[in-house]
């Protein structure tokens, strides 16, 4: 069932029998069990599932923010921790989590300061990524002066600023309204095409997952497991109205079926 590694492409993220058990006061909670995934260079992979299925946990393990208790995982052929120390990925959190005492430019600069880029390089990169997310002209605004959608775009710019090959996104548009979300989805696709990054994207929206992804990982809860991996047959070029095409609807159907099979409502 799992896609085998295609000749010539190396898995950027590869997990085998990955598991994580949280020790809580009353009883251990199995957040992830026997998870196998392969994410290749340039993939746009969505992790979709009901809340509590461990999709965020999986993303945090890839980012080495959480440690698995079973199984193996490599990122760029290294342990996640080694990859993190080499700054292999940019992470976008559910909330924009911009530092309120820094301007938009200051926030985008934060990783660059930590990675000790030169001043001229910093300014160039800030300008470039703010351009990329259409936030030019807002450099000197403070986060609270921007709308929620703009804040999230700034946080994406921040994750892009140091040009890591992998972008990990944890429900970045979850708190935004439908109109803004559509718009940002379009922009994200554009960005993915122009930068060629590998993106791992957590969502609980079926249309969002189908619209964006080349590969959709459907997960179930208690314990968090991968139920199905759906390879999208949609072309890379995706105008918004592709969502009305029969192909799109068929893939969405498959995702919905996968979620329904796995999901008990007790």
Partner 1 sequence: MKSILPITTVSMAIVILWYGFSVVLNSTWTKDQASRAGVEVTFSEILKDTMVQQRPLLPAPHQVIIELWDTTVNKKITSKRSLVYHGWITLSATLLGFIIGTGLGVLLAIGIVHNKAMDYGVMPWIIASQTVPILALAPMIIVVLYSIGLSGLVPKAIISAYLSFFPVSVGMVAGFRCPDPTQMDLLKTYAAKKNQLFWKLRVPISMPYLFTSLKIGVAASLVGAIVGELPTGAVAGLGARLLTGSYYGQTVQIWSALIGSAILAAILVGLIGLIQKHTLDRMGLAR
Binding site for partner 1 (CB under 8 A): 63, 65, 84-87, 89-91, 93, 95, 97, 99-103, 110-111, 113-115, 142, 144, 162
For the bound state, the minimum distance from the C-beta of residue 113 to partner 1, rounded and expressed in Å, comes to 7
How far is C-alpha 62 from the chain's CA centre?
A: 11
| Pick 199 or 218: Cβ nearer partner 1 | 199
Per-residue burial over 202-230, b if 16 or more Cβ lie within 10 Å, else e, is bbbbbbbbbbbbbbbbbbbbbbbbbbbbb
| Pick 22 or 99: Cβ nearer partner 1 | 99
For the bound state, the minimum distance from the C-beta of residue 56 to partner 1, rounded and expressed in Å, comes to 12
3-state class (DSSP) for residue 252: helix
Spatial CA neighbour of 226 closest among 69, 37, 70, 30: 37
| Pick 168 or 189: Cβ nearer partner 1 | 168
For the bound state, the minimum distance from the C-beta of residue 142 to partner 1, rounded and expressed in Å, comes to 4
Structure tokens at 96: 């924009």
29-40 and 11-22 beta bridge pairing: antiparallel
For the bound state, the minimum distance from the C-beta of residue 9 to partner 1, rounded and expressed in Å, comes to 25
CA–CA separation, 20 vs 70, rounded Å?
6
| Pick 102 or 243: Cβ nearer partner 1 | 102
């Amino acid at each position: 069932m799992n896609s085998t590694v295609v000749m010539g492409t190396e898995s950027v993220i590869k997990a085998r029998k990955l598991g994580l058990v949280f020790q809580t006061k009353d009883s251990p909670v199995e957040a992830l069990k026997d998870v196998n995934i392969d994410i290749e260079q340039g993939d746009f992979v969505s992790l979709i599932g009901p809340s509590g299925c461990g999709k965020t946990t999986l993303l945090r393990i890839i980012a080495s923010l959480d440690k698995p208790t079973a199984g193996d995982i490599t990122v760029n052929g290294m342990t996640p921790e080694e990859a993190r120390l080499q700054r292999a990925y940019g992470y976008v959190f559910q909330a924009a989590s911009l530092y309120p005492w820094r301007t938009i430019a200051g926030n985008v600069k934060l990783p660059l300061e930590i990675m000790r880029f030169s001043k001229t390089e910093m300014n160039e990169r800030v300008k470039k990524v703010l351009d990329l997310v259409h936030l030019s002209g807002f450099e000197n605004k403070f986060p609270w002066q921007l709308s929620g959608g703009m804040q999230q775009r700034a946080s994406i710019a921040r994750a892009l600023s140091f040009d890591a090959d992998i972008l990990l996104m944890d429900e970045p548009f979850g708190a935004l309204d439908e109109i803004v979300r559509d718009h940002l989805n379009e922009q994200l696709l554009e960005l993915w095409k122009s930068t060629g990054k590998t993106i791992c994207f957590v969502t609980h929206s079926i249309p969002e997952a189908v619209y964006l992804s080349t590969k959709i990982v459907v997960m179930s809860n208690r314990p968090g497991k991968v139920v199905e991996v759906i390879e999208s047959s949609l072309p890379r070029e995706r105008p918004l109205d592709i969502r009305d095409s029969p192909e799109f609807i068929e893939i969405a159907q498959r995702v919905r079926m996968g979620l329904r099979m796995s999901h008990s409502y007790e």
